[in-house]
Amino acid sequence: MPALELSKLAQQLAPVFGELPAAIVILDKDSRASYFHGDGVHGNSLFEIGSVSKPLFALLASQLVMDEIWSLEAPLSEVLGKDFEHHNYSLKQLLTHRSGLPRLPKNLFPQSIDDPYASFDTKAMTQALMMPIGHKGNYVYSNFGYGVLGWQMAKELGVTQLAMMQKHVFNKLRMAHATLSLTGEVVHKLQGHDHFGDPVSNWHFDSLVGAGGVLASAADMANWISAYWKKEDVDIKTKSILKASLTSLSDDMVYGFSKGQNGRYFHDGKTAGFSAMVVFDPIQQLGVIVLVGGERNTNNIAMSLFSQLEEKEK
């Protein structure tokens, strides 16, 4: 079992989570321990993971680069087509939020403020891509950018984004319950809550699903993160893709994840009703996953638990 005791973990975090559904997974080499909080929450309960979706989409981008379908350095306009020649940033710049694309599309006008991405369809995406963009090279965190990434990869492969992610990512990583929260689709997931603890609407996505539309369980997330070091759990090509996806693309980023000087890889995520955080170190073979159906500081929780885990290992 991982070094952190679950009974101690429960005592620490029960007051923090209150009545919110939550799940924590501690990964320690070949073992894992899971803590679930809230009525009916279990290992296969689905959470919105928000922007933690980005490294999953970036993982597929790593495969396209490995297969020489896309190039890290070539202008994205080469794959977008002749109508989008002003998108002269590289895939590397897109992955590291240095493409010049804004945080959100300029034509994102939600039909419902409670579900802001649901109505942004292929037509809206095409219109957004026709608009002028900023200067490449400067860091601007861009949900739009990762929306473009997912949308264009699906076009490249000739499939829907859901089919793409199921075949090339979820199935390969044994994320058996993971799916995408798509407009018009009904998926049984946990109830999310706002800052006051009141229930809020789930988010749904269309073209911009790469920005933050993955639904995943604690078990799904654990299988994904542990695969960075438990190589026997995935096939040979997936091992290579996972390794390649941790290649530095900038001083502080790999494919989708931020990388700290301490060797930690991490990403957080938020939707209207959910918070998520992942941190791991593939060399030490340690990881922490925090999923909450509400607004909580999952970053602090995960980093604190990870530091405790490191101390126990010394």
Name the residue ranges covered by the structural domains of the chain.
Answer: 6-313
Question: Which residues, other chains included, contact 152 with Cβ-Cβ below 8 Å and sequence gap of 6+?
Answer: 76, 79, 80
Helices (H), the chain: 6-17, 53-66, 77-80, 91-95, 122-130, 143-157, 161-165, 218-226, 236-245, 298-313
Cα-Cα-Cα-Cα dihedral sign, residues 13, 18, 19, 20? negative
Whether 3 has a pLDDT exceeding 70, the answer reads: no
Q: What is d(CA 144, CA 130) in angstroms, rounded to the nearest whole number?
A: 13
Whether 6 has a pLDDT exceeding 80, the answer reads: no
Whether 57 has a pLDDT exceeding 80, the answer reads: yes
Q: 99-118: per-residue pLDDT in tens?
A: 999 999 999 999 889 999 99
Q: What is d(CA 56, CA 227) in angstroms, rounded to the nearest whole number?
A: 13
Please say whether the beta carbons of 273 and 293 come within 8 A.
yes
Query: Whose structure tokens read 């490294």?
Result: 55
Confidence class of residue 2 from pLDDT cuts 50, 70 and 90?
Answer: low
Query: Whose structure tokens read 């095409």?
Result: 126
pLDDT (mean) for 81-104: 97
Confidence class of residue 1 from pLDDT cuts 50, 70 and 90?
Answer: very low
Fold for the domain defined by 6-313: Beta-lactamase (3.40.710)
Query: What pLDDT is stored for residue 65 in this prediction?
Result: 98
pTM: 0.96
Burial annotation 186-198 (CB, 10 A radius, 16+ → b, else e): eeebbebbeeeee
Q: What is the DSSP string of 73-84?
A: SSBTHHHH-GGG
Amino acid at 64: L
Q: What is d(CA 205, CA 119) in angstroms, rounded to the nearest whole number?
A: 7
Please say whether the beta carbons of 140 and 134 come within 8 A.
yes
Q: What is d(CA 256, CA 54) in angstroms, rounded to the nearest whole number?
A: 6
